[in-house]
Amino acid sequence: MFVSNKLRLVAASAIAMLALGGAVASASAATVHLVVAGVTAKSGESFAVTGSKTPETNAELKVEGGPIVKCTIAAGTGELTQSTSLFGKAVVIKFTTCKVTNSKTTEENCEVKEVVAKGKSKELESTSEATLIQNIEPAEPFSKVTIKSVTGKTCSLAASEQEVVGQQVITLPKSTEEKTSHELVAAASGSALKYAGKVATFVLNETIKLSTEKAFKLTTP
């Protein structure tokens, strides 16, 4: 989120996203394939995905010694591309209806400009985990967060275009089951992020699906 996230997440993510693919190194790297409605994706083949925040959950960026930003709406887009292994690209997540929740005062006095997070992923080495990273070429952060004072009030945490950089591990529960939608989970324990140079964590639960709405799953042949 703030991946992208924030991200620009993942997932779709994500996007996620989210959005959302990516990989965490494991003892022995595996090749992950995308299977769509029973057909294994060919090398170079891409599939558009969309994602949205899972209902009754929050997208949250928490900065040590800084703001806590919670958003109730997150929507993402992206692509899953089959190469040697699967990876995610063009991940864009837009976070809206956000508040600074450090205190009742910040909720009332501060407002957050729509946050657009973007990134991509490493090639997957596991069907259960992924690592979202910021875009390297061209080099840019996951996102830039702007917090402003509400008109007529003073926000103590106001700051313009503060960059969020680093990477975020996400988990892919039940990704080996063929379903039309899958959940992506970003937990604070998987954050290696910084906001304006300060340590930050990110939390997001996102549901992603292919734009074709076909059932899909991940496998390690």
**Residue 45: its pLDDT value, please?**
96
How many Å separate Cα 191 from the centre of its chain? 11
Instruction: Answer positive or negative: Cα dihedral of 29, 172, 187, 157.
Output: positive
Cα gap 16→132, rounded to integer Å? 9
**Residue 17: its pLDDT value, please?**
32
Q: Say if residues 51 and 13 touch (Cβ distance below 8 Å).
A: yes
Neighbours of 199 (CB within 10 A): 15
pLDDT exceeds cutoff 70 at 3? no
**Residue 209: its pLDDT value, please?**
96
CA dihedral angle for residue 121, residue 122, residue 125, residue 126, rounded to 10 degrees: -20
Would you give the DSSP letter of residue 36? E
Task: Give the mean pLDDT of 191-211.
Answer: 95
Q: Say if residues 109 and 137 touch (Cβ distance below 8 Å).
A: no
Instruction: For 161-196, write each residue's pLDDT tens digit.
Output: 999 999 999 999 999 999 999 999 999 999 999 999
pTM listed for this prediction: 0.83
Task: Give the mean pLDDT of 99-124.
Answer: 95
Q: How confident is the model at residue 29 (pLDDT cuts 50, 70, 90)?
A: low
DSSP assignments along 53-117, one per residue? EPTT--EEEEETTS-EEEEEEEEEEEEEEESSSEEEEEEEEEEEEEEE-SSHHHHHHEEEPPEEE
Nearest to 178 by CA among 115, 127, 111: 127
Reading phi first (left if > 0) and then psi (alpha if -120 to 50, else beta), residue 10 is in left
Instruction: For 38-97, write each residue's pLDDT tens digit.
Output: 999 999 999 999 999 988 888 999 999 999 999 999 999 999 999 999 999 988 999 999
Neighbours of 69 (CB within 10 A): 30
